[in-house]
Amino acid sequence: MRRLTKISLVLCFVAAVILVLTLLPSLSLQAREQSDPFGAIAKREELRIRIAEMRAEIAANGHKFTVDFNPAMQYTLEQLCNFKPELKPADSDLVYLYGGRDPISRVNKKPPSPPSDTYYMSDYTSVKDQRSCGSCWAFSTAGMFECVLLKHGINANLSEQWLVSCNTDGWGCNGGWFANKYYLNPGAVLENCFRYKALDLPCKEGCEFVYIANSSHNVSNVSAIKAAIRDYGGVSCAVTATYYFQAYSGGVFDYDSHSPTNHAVVLVGWDDNLGSGGAWRLKNSWGNGWGESGMMWIEYGCSNVGSGGNYLTY
């Protein structure tokens, strides 16, 4: 009788172990799901597969850049890239764009010397992070004007939130166009007066317009963009941002896309010896964890980079 009892206990123990081993994966999954209600684990697996696929295509096609996980990949391209080319002002609005001023009279009329084959701003304001708000248009405009001010020895941190919240065009986290006209009139506000929150906040009144631009100009070809970067400090422009662009981690970006532009950035330098005939040094607004500490080398013309090129004078 005792022997049968021992056998029964052993069998019950074995059955219990088998049951636990059977249920453990589902219990573990349930625990992970409860601790991860927004599906971050599934998203990481999706990104891992996407990164592997991109790396395979990069290797197969001999591209010159690398991709990897970065903080910007927690957002969708739709959240990050809300530059809207359809919001470009009509020709009749150019006087308003220039603030009623004559832009030509304020430009140095001496013929510019040919740009060198390499130039890179050694001093530029820190890379910022727009986060999930589609305000790249504001960061592009502010980043460009910060570069222009640096040419005059002024290290300023301008408020992108003021552009997002106080523009009169209805632009915001849902997108916008280059905001040069607001730096012509009424001027630029400092970050410490209206700090960035990555939200469509109500406009904050009472901020001082510390810096007012003199004129706004468009540039389209490589030589003109180079001259503007060298002489004025930086060029704001559009680019087509794809998943490859979002996952960029280093090298010379040469994944060309002919889709419409959707993202606004700042060009701060160039190197004619990189890539297939030269590359721009691009400053992004997705934080220091993206690319090369927030920066990128991208081949001239690749993915429409340089489209809508523009700069301010001060």
β-pair partners for 175:
172
195-223 pLDDT per residue, tens: 999 999 999 999 999 999 999 999 989 99
Structurally, at CATH architecture level, domain 45-313 sits in Alpha-Beta Complex (3.90)
pLDDT at 44: 81
Q: What is the pLDDT of residue 118?
A: 81
Residue range 140-149: mean pLDDT, rounded: 97
Q: Where are the domains of the chain?
A: 45-313
Quote the pLDDT of residue 213. 97
Q: Which residues are catalytic?
A: 136, 263, 284
Closest CA to 154 of 213, 207, 215: 213
pLDDT for 168? 96
What is residue 33's predicted lDDT score, i.e. its pLDDT? Answer: 38
Q: What is the mean pLDDT of residues 146-172?
A: 96
> CA 156: distance to chain centroid?
20
Task: Write down the pLDDT at residue 113.
Answer: 59
How much of the chain exceeds pLDDT 70, in percent?
77
> pLDDT by residue (tens digit) across 24-77?
444 443 444 344 444 566 678 889 999 999 999 999 999 999 999 999 999 999
118 - beta bridge partners?
Answer: 271
**pLDDT band, residue 117 (cuts 50/70/90):** confident
153 has pLDDT over 60:
yes
The Cα 1–Cα 239 span in angstroms is 83
Q: Sign (positive/negative) of CA torsion 131, 132, 138, 144?
A: positive
State residue 220's pLDDT score.
Answer: 87
Confidence of residue 3 (pLDDT cuts 50, 70, 90): low
On whether the pTM is more than 0.85, the answer is no
- The pLDDT-based confidence of 140 (bands split at 50, 70, 90) is very high
* Mean pLDDT taken over the chain: 85
- pLDDT at residue 125 in the model: 79
Contact 66, 249 (CB under 8 A): yes
Q: Which long-range contacts (CB under 8 A, 24 or more apart) does 154-157 make?
A: 154/211, 155/125, 156/125, 156/188, 156/190, 156/210, 156/211, 157/125, 157/126, 157/190, 157/191, 157/192
Calculate mean pLDDT across residues 67-93: 87
Q: Tell me which amino acid residue 219 is.
A: V
Share of the chain above pLDDT 90, in %: 70
